[in-house]
Amino acid sequence: MEEILCRSALEQGEALRRGEITAPELLRAHLKRIREADPEIHAFTLVDEAGALAQAEAAQRAIERGEASSPLCGVPVAIKDNICVRGMETACGSRMLEGYRPPYDAAAVERLRAAGLVLLGHTNMDEFAMGSTTETAAGGPTRNPWDAARAPGGSSGGSAAAVSARMAPLALGSDTGGSIRQPAAFCGVTGLKPTYGAVSRWGLVAYASSLDQIGPIARTAADCAAAFDLLCARDARDATSRGGTGGTLAGLTGSAAGLRIGIPDESFAEGLDEGVRARVLGAAEIFQGLGAQVERFSLPVAPYAVPAYYILACAEASSNLSRYDGVKYGHRAEGPEDIVALMRQSRMEGFGPEARRRILLGTFVLSQGYYEAYYLKALRVRSRIRQELERALTRFDLILLPAAPSVAPRLGESLSDPLQMYLSDVYTVTANLAGLPCASFPCGEEEQTGLPVGAQLLARRDEEGLLLRAVDAFQRHTDYHLHRGGMAR
């Protein structure tokens, strides 16, 4: 593997500006790596060589004129298959959207283009982002670069695997209940779910609109900061978009001294694998060594996050996915001669089992007679979770917890028992319910399997700066984020 592929996105950007390599050369190195590694890993659903080359040439001209529009100008980026790219098939991992070519770019994609990044193509994902392993993808699963018999996590499994296997230095994912942070953890890379509203959702195929958020997956916290600074902006086309403060990259001082970090007892209790616990608590010790104050505390609402999350996410999904009717876009059944039959059959054929299950569950919790007991109750629980987290974050600057209860599961292990798969989201859904920024980053390998373990830090609203400063300080003093295994080597 070429050495340049192992550098971070920011380092690749710097090499371009110094003239060490040109943007088309950097692109070709990544395309070569994709041709070598992706037949086995299947991180990409589509690679747009011609489009990427044109963008790389334009970026190169800008760099040569001294007009690089960002520190990541000319750097390749992979885009999750639920983020619209004009004219590029955006299938959302679903048969339903097979062949769908959006007539517009998502706001996040517009911003990356304006910053001179080079769009490699679309990455594989669980169907409509519904899954924790990328196995519900209509086109088949992605494999974990550390161990091809394992899942990369999900739903942004393709994005995490692409970054882990050095096929892209940076990728966009989306995170509704952990879909950036958990695959980042399973693939040994770093991922950021920004504050709800920091990044426009315009052009992100909707799953659960009150929880969805686009964010970066990269190999370092500094890369996530650089990408976040480009992505975060107010956008009138998304009424919930507020933008953010920006300047995240410039605020990385390398210091974690004086930070108060809380560790919730409930997140280290029963259900957490011993090897994962050891690594995440090891990260806590490292933060202490960097001058942070680490303290345990109790967060009694933690066990209620998963059931509340699944009620709310499925309810919103059942509403959002009602747009797929076989008429405007997407799959249309052949045969039915009345409109209702056309919708019912198109939706049965277009959606896979997990999407159907969530639509039905969401329909149930919103239906007459059950709305109060399920949906309204979950909204009340969501309020309590937000309140308790906000209270904890007056005592602490950051909360440290595992990204997942175990390392990456073997392919095929999770699909048979959906409830078990839902429970594995226990540490990630809280950040979405509370709308808070949260990053996951590698903190070493689990002893028995040698597979990467991810820790998460959770911060107050709009404090991506403080959050990434802490992760960056951790990465300046450790080299876990540089570890590679299996095909990632």
Partner 1 sequence: MKIDSAMLEHLCELARLDLPQEERGEVLEQLGKILDYMEILNRLDTERVEPYDLAAEAVEGLRADVPGPSMDRAALLENAPRAQDGAYQVPRTVE
**Interface residue list for partner 1 (CB under 8 A):** 100-104, 196-197, 210, 234, 236, 239-242, 301, 303-304, 307-308, 310-311, 318, 322, 325-332, 336-340, 342-345, 347-348, 351, 353, 356-357, 359-361, 363-364, 367, 374, 376-384, 386-387, 418-419, 422, 435
Q: Which is nearer to partner 1, 59 or 306 (CB)?
A: 306
Return phi, psi of residue 392, to 5°: -60, -35
What letters, b where the CB count within 10 A reaches 16 and e where it falls short, cover 10-45? bbbbebbeeeebbbbbbbbbbbebbeebbeebbbbb
Residue with tokens 């890379």: 189
Q: Which is nearer to partner 1, 54 or 339 (CB)?
A: 339
Q: Which is nearer to partner 1, 288 or 383 (CB)?
A: 383
Q: Which is nearer to partner 1, 25 or 329 (CB)?
A: 329
Name the β-bridge partners of 439.
192, 457
Q: Which is nearer to partner 1, 87 or 289 (CB)?
A: 87
Residue with tokens 């296997």: 165
| Residue 295 Cβ vs partner 1, minimum distance, rounded to whole Å | 25
Q: Which is nearer to partner 1, 36 or 329 (CB)?
A: 329
Question: Of these residues, 8, 94, 132, 155, which one is catalytic?
Answer: 155
| Residue 326 Cβ vs partner 1, minimum distance, rounded to whole Å | 7
Query: Distance (Å, rounded) from C-alpha 289 to C-alpha 443?
Result: 15
Residue 215 CB neighbour total at 10 angstroms: 30
- Cis geometry, peptide bond prior to residue 155 (ω within 30 degrees of 0): yes
* Residues 6 or more apart whose Cβ sits within 8 Å of residue 313: 176, 177, 207, 208, 211, 358, 362
Query: Distance (Å, rounded) from C-alpha 475 to C-alpha 124?
Result: 28
| Residue 438 Cβ vs partner 1, minimum distance, rounded to whole Å | 17
Query: Distance (Å, rounded) from C-alpha 422 to C-alpha 133?
Result: 11
Query: Distance (Å, rounded) from C-alpha 118 to C-alpha 113?
Result: 7
Query: Distance (Å, rounded) from C-alpha 413 to C-alpha 405?
Result: 15
| Residue 50 Cβ vs partner 1, minimum distance, rounded to whole Å | 20
179 labelled catalytic: yes
Residue with tokens 């000319």: 74
Q: Which is nearer to partner 1, 311 or 455 (CB)?
A: 311
Q: What type of residue sits at position 96?
A: M
| Residue 348 Cβ vs partner 1, minimum distance, rounded to whole Å | 4
Element (H, E) at 377: helix 377-395
Whole-number Cα distances in Å, 141 to 161, 269, 411: 11, 31, 8
Query: Distance (Å, rounded) from C-alpha 356 to C-alpha 362?
Result: 10
| Residue 106 Cβ vs partner 1, minimum distance, rounded to whole Å | 14
Question: Of these residues, 80, 94, 164, 414, which one is catalytic?
Answer: 80
Question: Of these residues, 179, 200, 267, 424, which one is catalytic?
Answer: 179
| Residue 155 Cβ vs partner 1, minimum distance, rounded to whole Å | 18
Supply the residues annotated as catalytic. Answer: 80, 155, 179
